């Protein structure tokens, strides 16, 4: 009798856990922060606060940071936590590399309206692209679409929907389902998940040059995911291996990271005339 009750209790706990995972799974994917901690002016960079609108009417916010004599524009899709104010280190690096930077917050992040969803983040990236093309009159070949972590999936979707000059993916997973299956190997997460963020699938349809950046010490996104993305990417493609953690690998690797990006950009992006 005791054994039966133990089975009932364990089964009930599993059912409740699975139900909570299904209903509240967006809380495991998005970690938005509404408060901007600083802006590029804090690191001595001139910038413009940008407001633009998505196709479904959501108002988004971002920053445009110009670089004198820029050789291109980097459209940066950040990761799943915080907001654009947590990416000043990246903005500074891109600026040192001689690039204009356009970084935006997804819906529900920072000063952007709405709540984040998978389809919503894709629409947000598309609106950022349209802003550069239509408002800034930037040609597609001058745009480097870049994404880190979750932003890599968004960037891949954008690069297969349009044709930028290049695509850079940092610390990115093959798909949300692959990551979830690794975290919860005893649960049918592939059936339960409402999210896909299938980076590998999108990447297979990208035709521009691709740089995959991943740390062999990444404790969140396995290095094998970076290698798999490199395998499915079409030529021309490059792989840049870093050291350091998921969130700090690009800083830990320092010179290697910047030189790797610079070499890739120099090879595939033609300077503005």
The vertex-91 CA angle with 202 and 269, nearest 5°, equals: 55
Q: What is the pLDDT of residue 183?
A: 67
Separation between Cα atoms, residue 229 and residue 223, nearest integer Å: 10
Q: What is the pLDDT of residue 194?
A: 76
Q: Please compute the mean of the pLDDT values over residues 214-233 and round it to a whole number.
A: 97
Structure tokens at 77: 């899709």
More confident residue, 195 or 106: 106
pLDDT in tens, 42-82: 999 999 999 999 999 999 999 999 999 999 999 999 999 99
Q: Compute the chain's Rg from CA coordinates.
A: 20
Give the side-chain half-sphere CA count within 13 A for 177.
Answer: 14
Separation between Cα atoms, residue 15 and residue 117, nearest integer Å: 25
pLDDT bracket for residue 132 (50, 70, 90):
very high
Statement: residue 262 has pLDDT above 60: yes
| Mean pLDDT of all residues belonging to the chain | 90
Structure tokens at 15: 């059912």
Q: What percent of the chain has pLDDT over 90?
A: 80
Statement: residue 270 has pLDDT above 90: no
Separation between Cα atoms, residue 152 and residue 131, nearest integer Å: 20
Q: Please compute the mean of the pLDDT values over residues 83-98 and round it to a whole number.
A: 98
pLDDT in tens, 16-51: 445 555 555 556 689 999 999 999 999 999 999 999
Q: Report the length, in residues, of the chain.
A: 273
Q: What is the pLDDT of residue 12?
A: 46
Statement: residue 136 has pLDDT above 50: yes
Domains and CATH numbers, the chain: 2-268 (3.40.50.1820)
Q: What is the pLDDT of residue 96?
A: 97
Catalytic residues: 149, 218, 246
Q: Please compute the mean of the pLDDT values over residues 129-141 and round it to a whole number.
A: 97
pLDDT in tens, 1-21: 555 655 455 444 445 445 555
Q: 3-state DSSP call for residue 210?
A: strand
Statement: residue 173 has pLDDT above 50: yes
More confident residue, 159 or 183: 159
Separation between Cα atoms, residue 230 and residue 194, nearest integer Å: 26
């Amino acid at each position: 009798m005791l054994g039966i009750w133990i089975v009932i209790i364990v089964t009930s706990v599993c059912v409740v856990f699975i139900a909570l995972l299904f209903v509240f799974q967006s809380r495991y994917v998005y970690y938005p922060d509404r408060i901007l901690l600083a802006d590029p002016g804090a690191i001595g960079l001139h910038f413009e606060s940008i407001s633009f609108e998505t196709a479904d009417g959501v108002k988004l916010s971002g920053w445009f940071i110009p670089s004198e004599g820029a050789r291109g524009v980097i459209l940066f899709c950040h990761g799943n936590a915080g907001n654009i104010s947590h990416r000043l280190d990246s903005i500074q690096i891109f600026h040192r590399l001689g690039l204009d930077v356009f970084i935006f917050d997804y819906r529900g992040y920072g000063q952007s309206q709405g709540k984040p969803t998978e389809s919503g983040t894709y629409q947000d990236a598309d609106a950022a692209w349209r802003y550069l093309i239509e408002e800034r009159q930037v040609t597609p070949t001058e745009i480097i679409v870049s994404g880190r972590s979750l932003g890599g999936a968004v960037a891949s979707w954008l690069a297969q929907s349009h044709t930028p000059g290049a695509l850079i993916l940092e610390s990115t997973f093959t798909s949300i389902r692959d990551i979830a299956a690794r975290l919860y190997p005893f649960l049918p997460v592939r059936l339960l998940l409402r999210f896909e963020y299938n980076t590998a699938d999108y990447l297979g349809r990208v035709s521009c040059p691709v740089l995959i950046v991943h740390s062999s010490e990444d404790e969140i996104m396995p290095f094998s995911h970076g290698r798999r993305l490199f395998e499915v990417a079409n030529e021309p493609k490059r792989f840049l291996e870093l050291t350091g953690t998921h969130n700090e690998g690009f800083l830990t690797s320092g010179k290697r990271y910047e030189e790797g990006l610079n070499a890739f950009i120099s090879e595939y992006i033609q300077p503005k005339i």
